[in-house]
Structure 1
C-alpha cells in the first residue's frame, strides 16, 4: 500500500530498492543504494515498512496524515531520500510507505527490483534480528541482496567467493558485472577447509569435525593446490570471456571459511558470494558462515541466488 502523498507510485523505473527504518545504518544504506543506482544508470526506490499492532491479522490503511505515527514514517523516508540525493544528486529517487510484515512486504517489492539494499543494523521492526532479515531476504528475494557493512568508502577489488557450485556461478556473473561498472579489478577467492588433525584427548572423531578450533593440518601439497586452482579458474572462465574489460585474478587458501572471508573483505570494496554452496560453503545462508559475514564483514556484502535475475546495466 502506498502512503498518501507518496512520490513515485510507479515503481517500474525503480531498479534499486532500499529498505530504511530510521536508523543510521538505514541512512547509510540509502546512500549506498543511490551509488548503486548511479552505476546502473537507473533509479532508486526508498521504502519504509510501517509495522503496527494490527498488521499481523489484516492489511489496514495507514493512520491519518496528521497522526504522530504517520508523520514519523514520512520523516524516516524524507531523511533517507535526503541522504540518497546528497550522495548522488543526479539519481532519480522515489519513495513509498507500506504497512505489513517487513519480510513479506520486502519479498513483494523486490519483485520489481534489480538489487535490494539493506542496512547491517536497525531499529523498530528490524531491531530484533536484523541478521535474520538479511538472511531471509538473501534466501528468498528475487534479486541480489546487498547488505551495507564495514568501513566507510571501502576501496580495493571486488572480491568473489567461489566454490564451483551453481550458486557461485550466478555470483560470478554478478561480480563481473559489478567490477565492470565500478572499473575495479576482481579477485576470485576459493577457500577449501583444512584437513582435520588429531582430535584432542577425550574428543570423539565426530565432535572433532564440528569443533572449529582444534588443531588441524592446514598444509597443501602440489596436488591440492592444483585442484583448488582449477576450481577457481573454472568458476570464472566463462565470465572472463563475457567481461574482457575486467582484470580478474584467482586466489586460493586452505583455511576456515568464515575467518578467511572476513579477513579478505578488509581489502575489498565489495564481497560477492552465492546464496548456497557446497563443501566449505554448505548451508551458508542458514548457518554460521552467513551470520559471521553479516556481523563481521569489513565491506559491503552481496548475496546472489542462482535463480535471481541479474541485470547490472551500464549507464545510459
Structure 2
C-alpha cells in the first residue's frame, strides 16, 4: 500500500506540474488588471497621438505585429537592433528600409515603464498597438490576449524566409500562411490589412508595367509616380479608394483589377479565393469580423510565457 500511495503522490505531483505549466502558457485579456491597470489606456493614448500626427503610422504599427509574429512567434524579436555581437531582423529583405514605427513603440514603452517598471512586455505592446491602430483608423476592435514575454534572440534567416513576399502567387500565399496555421480564408481576411498603408514603387513596378490583370487606367495613374527605372522608394497607397480608412474597399479594388501588389491581385485572379474576395467586397461586416478573429489568432502564435524570455526595459535591446 505504501508504494501504491507513493506512486499516487508522484503521479499527482506530475499532474499538478503539468497543470501549472499549461496555466503559465495561457494568455489572458486581464493579465495586467492588477499589475498595471493603466497599461492599455497608456498604449492607446500614445497610438492615437501617433496616428493623429501621421495616419500612415497606423498601418506601420499593424504591420509590425505581422512581421514580428510570423518570425518565431509574437516575441518582439523584430524590435531588436543589430549590435557588434548580435544580428536582429531589421535588415532582412522584407524589413530593411520598409518596416517602421519603432520610435512609437519606444515612446509607448517609456510611458508604460514610468507607471509600471518592468511589467509590460514589448511583445504585448506590439499586439495592443496594432489593434489600437486599426481602431484609430475606423476599423474593428478585438480583445487582445496578454502575458507574452520578450525574446532574447532574433532570426534574420527566418525573417527572410517566412514573411510572405509581394511577388508570391496564390499557391505561395496559401502555403506561407498555412505554415503558420492559417487557412486560406484567414489569409484572405488578414490580407485586408492592405486597406491602409502604402507600398514602395520597387514592390509594384513589375505589376504596373508588365501584368495584364490590371485596370489600364489604374496602371497608368501609378506609372507617373513609379517610373520604369529609379524612384524605388516613391510611395503609393495600397488602397487608392480610401487609403486612411480601415474598410473593405481593398476587396472592391481587387474585384476591379486594382490591386497594387502582385500578391494582392492574386487573391482575385480566377483562383480558389475569388469567392471570398467577392464576399468581403459586398459585406464589410463579414470582413471586419473575420479580420479581427484572424488578428487574435495571429497574436497567439508561439508566445513566450511563464519564465521564458524576459521583460525588456528597452525594446531595442535585451536586458
* Alignment TM-score, normalising by the size of structure 1: 0.29
More strand as a share of residues: 1
Quick one: higher RCO (CA 8 Å, sep 6+), 1 or 2?
Answer: 2
* Alignment TM-score, normalising by the size of structure 2: 0.29
